[in-house]
Amino acid sequence: MIFSRKRAAGRHARDERATDALQTVDGAESASEAPARGPYDVSEAPDGVQRLDLGSLQIPAVPEVEVRVQADPQGVIQQVVLVHGPSALQLGVFAAPRSEGIWDEVREEIRKSLYNDGAAAQEVVGEYGTELHARVRTEDGLTNLRFVGVDGPRWMVRAVYQGAAATDPAAAGPLADCLDGLVVDRGQEAKPVREPLPLRLPREAGGQVEADAEAAPAPGAR
């Protein structure tokens, strides 16, 4: 099932966030209240922002960005894709250890998997650190993908750009704004490392999900 809604309206590894948050005031350093950009942990997310609450992920409302959610009959979300024009952004969030990030390991596993499937992948430094750029063969032909990872406190966000935003980060536009404003609610429950954090449909979406059950999937989301 697919729930589609148009919304109106960091590196975020902890050590770098801490460095960015320090500001000099009269020669002394003081920490700002929150990071300048996300993805944010729910404990440090700015107030006053309209967001679509999907449980572990809260997606900010950005004009002209369509949120497409694929869920099973019980309302458990299998896939979240944001679409804007010719570009799409697939989001996933996973449990991580308290002591260190896991994006470096995950990125290497993705690279090896792509290589085994006959697709070459290149590491490129982006806004959030090292990204993975690849070109894969799908049912629709060759598709460009850009994998971005963001390590947070006991969580990791994996974002995959498709379409124009996969080859030109400047084309990400509103999709990049969604990633910058994303909020992760990890919860306190112990979870195995790399286990997907639970996502659920918002209560008000139930009726619309049924109506959109036969809607087409997001670009490249198969």
pLDDT in tens, 98-140: 989 999 999 999 999 999 999 989 999 999 999 999 999 888 7
| Mean pLDDT in residue range 148-166 | 97
Maximum mean pLDDT: which of 31-40, 68-77, 193-202: 193-202
Nearest one of 184, 166, 170 to 39, comparing CA atoms: 184
| Mean pLDDT in residue range 169-198 | 95
Contact 155, 186 (CB under 8 A): yes
Options 1.10.3470, 3.30.110, 3.30.70, 3.40.1000; which CATH number does 40-203 get? 3.40.1000
Min mean pLDDT across 123-132, 158-167, 179-188, 200-209 is at 200-209
Strand spans (E) along the chain:
2-7, 22-25, 28-31, 40-41, 51-53, 57-60, 65-71, 77-84, 87-95, 121-126, 129-138, 141-152, 155-163, 183-184
Q: How does strand 22-25 pair with strand 77-84?
A: unpaired
Instruction: Give pLDDT, residue 65.
Output: 97
> What are residue 187's DSSP bridge partners?
none
pLDDT at 215 over 80: no
Q: What is the pTM of this model?
A: 0.79
Instruction: Give pLDDT, residue 137.
Output: 86
DSSP code, position 219: T
CA pair distance 128, 36, nearest whole angstrom: 13
| Mean pLDDT in residue range 170-198 | 96
Residue 63: CB atoms within 10 Å: 11
Q: How does strand 2-7 pair with strand 28-31?
A: unpaired
Tokens of 136: 């894969």
Q: Where are the domains of the chain?
A: 40-203
Q: Which residues are CB-contacts of 115 (< 8 A; sequence separation ≥ 6)?
A: 121
CA pair distance 133, 213, nearest whole angstrom: 32
* Confidence tier at 218 by pLDDT (50, 70, 90): very low
| Mean pLDDT in residue range 51-59 | 96
Mean pLDDT (the chain, rounded): 82
Question: DSSP string spanning 66-88?
Answer: EEEEEE-TTSBEEEEEEEETTEE
Nearest one of 87, 90, 83 to 159, comparing CA atoms: 90
pLDDT at 8 over 70: no
| pLDDT > 90 fraction of the chain, expressed in percent and rounded | 66
Contact 22, 33 (CB under 8 A): no
CA pair distance 153, 21, nearest whole angstrom: 16
Give burial (CB, 10 Å; 0-12/13-18/19+) of 170.
Answer: exposed
Tokens of 111: 């690279």
